[in-house]
Structure 1
């Protein structure tokens, strides 16, 4: 089952989000280690109006328990959704520039992750299909970033129709920008 996330999913979601976004999570939170970033991500997840909010998250369940998630939002909202992270970085005395991952005109699949024990069961594909359905209601193509070295993810995205259209650098790492048009 795919359902909208709730603030109570933060305990489940935060470690998976940080595991997946890695250096981007450190850059957003100002943390130096994953263990420091996770509780900060959990706090942001429970709050509305930011890129990692429960409001932007689909949860895949197996047997009534969360097993995976996908965070997605209209790229036109990205700058505003990053404002709370920029403010956090500013209050920490850190550079508060956040690299753009998306732009207006696309529904951005920010984070896609399934718990290791549940991978290979088609949950990521179902999450992607749910996000694509929302994108259709907005009249937008879907887009995402993937590390060129992540062949498992790359193959999944290509198998459901995503094609590379650009290369970008985010938090000091190169990514392929993939898009799927309706």
Structure 2
């Protein structure tokens, strides 16, 4: 098993896992309704640079050349720039030129956008391993805080993140759902 930076060729496996984690947010980010179309658009963005879903922001954990986990991280100060290509996609698809994507992170944080482990491999601390690797990467880049959002009613995930040192500092509404915004000092 190894953790490595994402590459464009990971698109199919990585976006499948990303979509498992973000569920209906995939619709908002792509402007699509059907899963196959959502995955196709997400894969297209994954293969490109400078957007939220890009391989550039992704670490994968693989076993026997199979991606079994993924984490997407980027600095909050870059969120608007990384969201812009997605906003253009959704605006074009919907015809609504005023449409925006909800801001999920604070500008001072290295933000965990998505973390997901393949269902068949859950319970083996792989998500924790991915988070630790993202924190290590954030420290290497000189960032002082990590953050993430967890659904307010997801007590199990919140307990895990608290165990890893994340503390709730606020609440965000993202696409109509309430999330606890959690932060960990990593410097």
Secondary structure of the structure 1 residue equivalent to 2:89: helix
Residue in 1 that maps onto 2:43: 42
Residue in 2 that maps onto 1:132: 135
Contact 1:22 1:34 in 2 (8 A): no
CA RMSD of aligned residues (A): 1.2
Q: How does 1:28-177 map to 2 (within 5 A)?
A: 28-92=29-93, 93-94=95-96, 95-137=98-140, 138-177=142-181
- Deviation of 1:167 after TM superposition, in Å, equals 0.6
CA distance in structure 1 between the partners assigned to 2:170 and 2:129 by the alignment:
25
- Deviation of 1:36 after TM superposition, in Å, equals 2.3
**How big is each residue's C-alpha offset from its partner over 1:77-122, in whole Å with a ceiling of 9 and x where there is no partner?**
0000001011112212135211100121100000000000000111
Contact 1:74 1:107 in 2 (8 A): yes
What TM-score results when the alignment is normalised by the length of structure 1?
0.95
Secondary structure of the structure 1 residue equivalent to 2:99: coil
CA distance in structure 2 between the partners assigned to 1:49 and 1:3 by the alignment:
19
What TM-score results when the alignment is normalised by the length of structure 2?
0.93
After the TM superposition, which parts of structure 1 deviate over 6 Å for at least 4 consecutive aligned residues?
Answer: none
- Deviation of 1:34 after TM superposition, in Å, equals 2.8
Number of residue pairs aligned between Structure 1 and Structure 2: 182
Unmatched tracts of structure 2, length 5 or more = none
Unmatched tracts of structure 1, length 5 or more = none
Secondary structure of the structure 1 residue equivalent to 2:50: coil
Contact 2:9 2:47 in 1 (8 A): yes
CA distance in structure 1 between the partners assigned to 2:131 and 2:111 by the alignment:
11
Contact 2:110 2:143 in 1 (8 A): no
Contact 1:72 1:131 in 2 (8 A): yes
